[in-house]
Structure 1
Amino acid sequence: MVATPGAQGGEQGWSSRMAFILAAVGAAVGLGNIWRFPTLVGENGGGAFVLFYLGCVLLIGMPLMLSEFVVGRAGKSDAVQSASRVAERSGVSRRWRVFGGIEILAGFLILSFYSVVAGWVIYYVWLSGGDFLSNALAGEPFRGAFPDIGQDAVSGMMGALFESPVRLILVHAAFMAVTVWIVASGVHDGIEKAATWLMPAFFALLVCITIYGAFTGDFGRALAFLFTPDFSKLTPPVMNEALGQAFFSLSLGAGGLITYGAYVAKDVNLAPTAATISLTDTAVALVAGLMIFPIVLGVGLDPSAGPALIFQSLPVAFQTMPAGSLIGLLFFILIFFAALTSSISLLEGPTAWAIDRFGLRRPVAAMLLGLLAFLIGVACALGYNVWADVRPLGFWGIFAETDILDTLDGFTGKIMLPLAGLLLAIFVGWKADRRLIEAESGLSGGAFALWRFVVAWLCPAAVSLILLFGLFPGLLTG
């Protein structure tokens, strides 16, 4: 095992390569896979989007993920200090650590609103659990979900949650508390143990619900929708959405992967490990589509329902399906596991930075940062009711009509993440010492030359497009 950021506290890194893979897959697999990917596939026409997305993961996402791991292990510290150390060892300005700082801040801000959205999942776990329990007590545990409630009322459950500031804040607080507890427990006793238990449970639930959907839903139509490309739908806006999703889904630019890379032992070959993590994350997104769309299509719902697909359309679908109350409960537990493993990495990056920067003990750093993120999240939650008219960046055209949560989401996703990714690609592709990153990457010869060429040329161009079209969306539509 290797020393982690904040090594003055005597912590150690991952106990094995598999522990690292599970933790990193957990960081990447989150709401972006289970909620955002099916939503974007549905909104953007299915197969053509999926095909272009896969290309973006292979050509952009995977090389950048390896870059983050290389910087982390070479620097053996938090994202800021790791970037600074690699720059120093490469004989370039330590100001390049700015991309590490952007990543840490982006991850922290994402955590603040991510916890609010994950709180919605807790609310639906509670509703689904109560529904399943009432059915079980009535002697019908395998009946459809919410049998005594009309479809309009089921679809309106989310609206009822948004109208209650107290409920929103309570579920947000519950999710943040679990995240803080795990991160405060340490790398080995907290993050690694959580990943070791949560990820196998997540995969088991994913497979089981997918099999259920294949037999009870319309699996054939779902396969055709996901994997039959209609290239007439592959417009510039769709391609940019796919590129941005590949970046977002792999948790690039948020500080967690550099920090996780700092905990990796020298005998772990980073290149095949990064490939395994990237491909696993992508496979989860595809299986999530095969889990959701057979159910949605099987009951005649609209696959392009957008963000409402998970929290409004699917609960209605579970009403009419055999064992819907049980499957609904398991489905939202699965989403909770995915959200939690990602939130852990979002908090770990800033926590490692605070330990190194201020010499704080891990529990203190995790609790202070968790509390601050929670308070920002409270503002996001109130943006759905009490502060519904507040527009934090109303003076800025692209954010003129967005509420507090969507403004934070847009600012981090459209500006901070791609900016950090762009600087990372330039740093690793052009500035970092060749021998240093070659030794850390696990690549050599032609494979190393190809990877660095992609990082130096293709990745900056692609990430610049995400940044450019995020700031000026009108460019895509003429």
Structure 2
Amino acid sequence: MVVTTASDGTTPRDGWSSRSAFVLAAVGAAVGLGNLVRFPAEAANNGGGAFVLFYVACIVLIGLPVLLSETLIGRHGQASAVESMKRLAAESNASKWWGGIAGLGVAAAFMILAFYCVIGGWVLYYIGLFAADIVQSGISGGALTGMSAEDIKAIFPDLLNNGFTMSVLDVAFVVITVMFVARGVSGGIEKASVWLMPAFFMLLLGITIYGAFTGAFSEAVGYLFTFDASKLTGPVMLAAVGQAFFSLSLGVAGMMTYGSYVGRDVNLAKTSATIAFADTSVALIAGLCIFPIVLAAGLSSDGGLGLMFDTLPHAFQSMPFGTLIGLAFFVMVGFAALTSSISLMEVPTAWAIDKFGLRRAPTAISIAVAAAVLGILSAYSFNALSGFHPLGFIPLFEGEGIFSALDSVTAKLFMPIGALLVSIFVGWIAERRLIDNENGLSGGLHRFWLFLVRWLCPLALTGILIVGIFPSLLPA
């Protein structure tokens, strides 16, 4: 265990045991359903290779600078996201109200945690479904033996209509998450990351290799990476910017919080680049993992949750060892969802510990209970509470239930606003000497990073924010 200290030299804190532990934890926080489902579909539907190339450029020019900005704030402050921001602002002779930026991220992390654990519960349900199929029918045949296409198509809608089952699954996923967070950074969060992320990568590569030999691999490569510059329109480029931003889990104070546990001997620039590279690699490999299976079955490759919980189970039915591959796939997704939910829960937990001087375990449990309650309400928004629209009085959120409202508020407002203000703070407000001591850059690279943080990142994030609020501005 590494013990870090706050910037004022006081308050010993638990920290990562090594740079690799931090990288695995940060990658685990970033890698989630957006990498596994949303990116491949976005690439396939928006110009293939042209979208991918522009997406990678956005990761380098927008995502990575903001990622480094968030981690350096946390590492400098050596405290929760809010307290770290306040300390850097105070040392820069700026208003303490800049801490509210991180406060917005803390609120976003909690709200996302609430509905994300509902999705985690869905993953648990499918893990159980495929495990039961193995017990009943073995591993050699296709998945979901004896079920018709209509039966498979009805699995997910039937689950969404069952609020009680989803609530139980949501609580189960919250309990699994809090078991790691309550044990601290080195004793819980790090151990989860060190074990789960390598297992995740092994499963991802294994299923990708399986798809290369049994699925439509060459067709998937062409589908995803054929370069069609004519499709790289303004809306497509903005979609790539948004995907790059959301795939790194920026704007939720997670990287600030994880950065606060990093020792002074770690080069944040190199480490942030490693995190961004790993996250991008997962997104690219995920397309080569999923689409050969989907295309070989002759199914639609439309993105969204339907691809994971409707299309893929159907595809696994017709494949050799489909039950085993299906189980491995959803276990892999479960690992990614768990490492993400752990980081989301750690953000408000760290904030409450610093704010109120509480002990970790009771604090984490309290956050978990609150998230479970809000998650249960989100689960029932698909059925019994489907007519309840908590923000219906706001045109932007009209007709949205609790689940979708939480998603929309965080994705359209809290996350882009938080990341935008972080860029402005680091680029224009924070004392240059303090920033230079933390970012691990020098010379031309430092000047280039500062230009990106000051100019390009705010412009891009403003675009994401405006389009999120006024989607009608995008041409049809």
TM-score > 0.5 by shorter chain: yes
Alignment of 1:33-182 (within 5 A): 33-136=35-138, 141-182=139-180
Output the amino acid matched with 2:20.
Answer: M
Output the amino acid matched with 1:176.
Answer: V
Deviation at 1:40, TM superposition (A): 2.7
Asked whether the 8 Å contact 2:40–2:224 carries over to 1, the reply is no
Asked whether the 8 Å contact 2:71–2:256 carries over to 1, the reply is yes
Rate the CA distance shift 1:236–1:403 in 2: closer, same or farther, 3 A.
Answer: farther
Distance 1:226 1:421 in 2: 29
Deviation at 1:231, TM superposition (A): 2.6
Asked whether the 8 Å contact 1:122–1:171 carries over to 2, the reply is yes
Identity within the alignment, %: 52
Secondary structure in 2 matching 1:477: coil
Distance 2:116 2:447 in 1: 37
Output the amino acid matched with 2:4.
Answer: A
Output the amino acid matched with 1:69.
Answer: T
Match in the other structure for 2:349: 351
Match in the other structure for 2:299: 301
Alignment of 1:444-463 (within 5 A): 444-463=442-461
Match in the other structure for 1:411: 409
Q: Over residues 335-354 of structure 1, what are the superposed CA-to-partner deviations in whole Å (9 max), with x where a residue is unaligned?
A: 00000001111011110000
Output the amino acid matched with 2:121.
Answer: G
Distance 2:142 2:47 in 1: 30
1:395 aligns with 2:397: no
RMSD: 1.6
Deviation at 1:357, TM superposition (A): 0.2
Asked whether the 8 Å contact 2:42–2:303 carries over to 1, the reply is no
Output the amino acid matched with 2:136.
Answer: S
For normalisation by structure 2, the TM-score amounts to 0.97
Output the amino acid matched with 1:200.
Answer: P
Output the amino acid matched with 1:471.
Answer: I
Output the amino acid matched with 1:436.
Answer: L
Rate the CA distance shift 1:379–1:42 in 2: closer, same or farther, 3 A.
Answer: farther
Match in the other structure for 2:15: 13
Rate the CA distance shift 1:283–1:354 in 2: closer, same or farther, 3 A.
Answer: same
Asked whether the 8 Å contact 1:254–1:417 carries over to 2, the reply is yes
Output the amino acid matched with 1:290.
Answer: L
Unmatched segments (≥5 aa) in structure 2: none
Deviation at 1:54, TM superposition (A): 1.3
Asked whether the 8 Å contact 2:59–2:276 carries over to 1, the reply is yes
1:232 aligns with 2:230: yes
Distance 2:450 2:414 in 1: 23
Deviation at 1:395, TM superposition (A): 2.2
1:470 aligns with 2:468: yes
Asked whether the 8 Å contact 1:83–1:96 carries over to 2, the reply is yes
Output the amino acid matched with 2:14.
Answer: Q
Distance 1:79 1:277 in 2: 19
Q: Over residues 242-266 of structure 1, what are the superposed CA-to-partner deviations in whole Å (9 max), with x where a residue is unaligned?
A: 2111111101011111011011011
For normalisation by structure 1, the TM-score amounts to 0.96
Rate the CA distance shift 1:245–1:70 in 2: closer, same or farther, 3 A.
Answer: same
Distance 1:399 1:231 in 2: 34
Match in the other structure for 2:320: 322
Distance 2:172 2:10 in 1: 31
Distance 1:229 1:59 in 2: 21
Distance 1:392 1:12 in 2: 39
Distance 1:163 1:243 in 2: 35
Secondary structure in 2 matching 1:12: strand
Secondary structure in 2 matching 1:425: helix
The correspondence for 2:198, drawn from 189, 197, 200, is 200
Deviation at 1:476, TM superposition (A): 1.2
Q: Over residues 309-351 of structure 1, what are the superposed CA-to-partner deviations in whole Å (9 max), with x where a residue is unaligned?
A: 1110010100000100000000000000000001111011110
Deviates more, 1:8-17 or 1:46-55: 8-17
Deviation at 1:8, TM superposition (A): 9.1
Distance 1:475 1:91 in 2: 39
Asked whether the 8 Å contact 1:113–1:405 carries over to 2, the reply is yes
Deviation at 1:169, TM superposition (A): 0.3
Rate the CA distance shift 1:8–1:387 in 2: closer, same or farther, 3 A.
Answer: farther
Distance 1:404 1:43 in 2: 29
1:381 aligns with 2:379: yes
Asked whether the 8 Å contact 2:114–2:372 carries over to 1, the reply is yes
The correspondence for 1:26, drawn from 17, 25, 28, is 28
Output the amino acid matched with 2:448.
Answer: L
Deviates more, 1:198-207 or 1:442-451: 442-451
Asked whether the 8 Å contact 2:37–2:303 carries over to 1, the reply is no
Rate the CA distance shift 1:8–1:335 in 2: closer, same or farther, 3 A.
Answer: farther
Match in the other structure for 1:292: 290
Aligned residues: 474
Match in the other structure for 1:3: 4
Deviation at 1:77, TM superposition (A): 0.5
Distance 2:185 2:336 in 1: 18
Rate the CA distance shift 1:392–1:231 in 2: closer, same or farther, 3 A.
Answer: farther
Distance 1:166 1:194 in 2: 29
Deviation at 1:364, TM superposition (A): 0.9
Output the amino acid matched with 2:254.
Answer: G
